[in-house]
Amino acid sequence: MHSVVTTLDAEQGAGKTRFLFQVMNVMAGMGLRCLFLSLEEHPASKLFKDKVRQYIDPSNLDRISAMDEIEDWGAIRGNIDKADVIFIDSFQKLPLNVDLDHDIRKAFNGKWFFVIYQQTGTKSMRGGSK
């Protein structure tokens, strides 16, 4: 069995990160353990904290954890193993050698990954087809 990956891409400012927070709140409210790899906004930043206050029900906070600055994909495997749903904002900020299919979808069983892809000014995905 493999995992499911849902990818999101839209123009800058379209609300991708806000959408992730809303989905994360619903999933945590269902009792699922959520891991947010927040690679665009540091979890200690005012932007991040404001989104937590706006979109996350306080009763769900104990089922949500956040990480930033992932330098070694293999080193966070234990964190991913403990979660049911993993949110990644954004794929382009992961280490260069991470492959969506091999290192994420096929590497874990029964997980659900939500992955944001950032668009360039020409509306293509940053990082190309990889």
Residues 100 and 4: beta-carbon distance below 8 Å: no
Task: Using pLDDT thresholds of 50, 70 and 90, give the confidence band for residue 58.
Answer: very high
Q: How confident is the model at residue 56 (pLDDT cuts 50, 70, 90)?
A: very high
Among 86, 89, 100, 68, CA closest to 28: 86
Q: What is the reported pTM?
A: 0.90
Note the pLDDT of residue 121. 55
Q: What is the pLDDT of residue 120?
A: 58
Alpha carbon of residue 9 to chain centroid: 13
Question: What is the model's pLDDT at position 106?
Answer: 96
How confident is the model at residue 1, as a pLDDT?
Answer: 77
Edge-first strand order for the sheet with 64-67 is 4-10, 112-118, 85-89, 34-38, 64-67
- Is pLDDT larger for residue 33 or for residue 69? 33
